[in-house]
Amino acid sequence: MTAIRISGTALADTLRAEVAQGVSRLQSTTGVTPGLAVVLVGEDPASQVYVRNKIKQTEAVGMRSTHHLLAADTSATALLALIDQLNADPAVHGILVQLPLPPHLEAKAVIEAIDPRKDVDGFHTQNVGSLWTEGCGFVPCTPLGCLHLLQTVRRDIAGLHAVIVGRSTIVGRPMAALLLNESCTVTIAHSKTQALPALCKTADILVAAVGRPQMIKAEWIKPGAIVLDVGINRIAQSDGSTRLVGDVDFEAALAVAGAITPVPGGPGPMTIACLLANTLEAATRMASA
Ligand code: GUN
């Protein structure tokens, strides 16, 4: 068997085109241009790349993009003052503080300071609670993108066993809530889970979000399973160059899985497309409030 490759690049293109249409429609009916403010503290190279992509794609769909690049030693007081200012700005409909923050800043306090109606990352406790109670708050972008990718290969996932490897607040936990809301039977595995290979092998849907390059082997995968690989790991090659790989041993997994996302070109592009969709939704809600 050779698995279907689920293209995040193609689906993200489609979703971005829909968002661009939605932006035009909102502008023509209400005069409102959705605005996304991106905040980056410090100079983490990976975060700089993500933020540059977010800004570029926000502008490409016709939204207003503002960015705030702050020094690594920015105080909590200064950062919270900026959040207050963005909360009060009617031209800003979405606020994204790129994580991780430098160690002296507490991410939780910063996220809780964001107006939940502008929390397009879906990280504020009000949106987290909404997700777990099947409310209509914002859903974190990476898990939301994964659900869209999964639904391209299988619509009805009720009753399937989903195993999520990784319990982060950005991916693992919200992914569990989303799949539970779709009536999957959900198991969250993590670094202390016993007999992980055997557990993974029981998964109809396997979500890898651990951040360990190629950790999940073909033998851990149930034949025909749908595999969503959220990992983005840069590894060195023998010729001195580097390449990106996921948390799954992709080439070997292709022979066992029913469908699998590649890295790069899987959940990554969908994360930004879902961020744009959430920002359009935030602006739409505010325009009609
Ligand atoms: N860092 C890694 N992923 C994300 C994300 O989805 N949102 C934010 N704000 N920071 C991140």
Averaged pLDDT, 163-182: 98
Averaged pLDDT, 45-71: 97
Q: 69 lies in a domain?
A: yes
Q: Are residues 67 and 179 in the same domain?
A: no
Closest CA to ligand 1's atom 8: 98
Q: Would you say residue 67 has pLDDT above 80?
A: yes
Per-residue pLDDT, 235: 96
Mutate to test the pocket of ligand 1, among 39, 50, 144 (most ligand atoms within 8 A of CB): 50
Distance between CA atoms of residues 137 and 127, nearest Å: 5
Per-residue pLDDT, 270: 98
Q: Which atom of ligand 1 is nearest to the CA of 142?
A: 6
- Order of strands, sheet of 226-229, starting from the edge strand that comes earlier in the sequence: 4-5, 259-260, 226-229, 205-208, 161-165, 185-189
The rounded Å distance from CA 28 to ligand 1 centre is 31
Residues having CB closer than 6 A to ligand 1 are 96-99, 121, 141-142, 170, 271
Q: 41 lies in a domain?
A: yes
Q: Are residues 93 and 196 in the same domain?
A: no
**Range(s) of the domain holding residue 243:** 141-268
Distance of CA 15 to the CA centre of its chain: 14
* Residues classed as catalytic: 54, 98, 121
Phi, psi of 184, rounded to the nearest 5 degrees: -75, 160
Instruction: Indicate the number of domains in the chain.
Output: 2
Structure tokens at 125: 């406790």
Place of tokens 């429609």: 25
pLDDT band at 103 (very low <50, low <70, confident <90, very high): very high
CA quadruple 225, 230, 233, 238: dihedral sign: positive
Per-residue H/E/C for 196-210 = HHHHHCCCCEEEECC
Per-residue pLDDT, 244: 96
Report the predicted TM-score, pTM, of the whole model to 2 decimal places: 0.97
Q: 210 lies in a domain?
A: yes
Q: Would you say residue 124 has pLDDT above 90?
A: yes
For residue 89, the SS3 value is coil
Q: Are residues 109 and 152 in the same domain?
A: no
Per-residue pLDDT, 100: 96
Q: 26 lies in a domain?
A: no
Name which of 164, 253, 246, 177 is nearest 204 in CA terms: 164
CATH number of the domain at 183, please: 3.40.50.720
pLDDT band at 1 (very low <50, low <70, confident <90, very high): confident
Q: Are residues 57 and 148 in the same domain?
A: no
The rounded Å distance from CA 239 to ligand 1 centre is 31
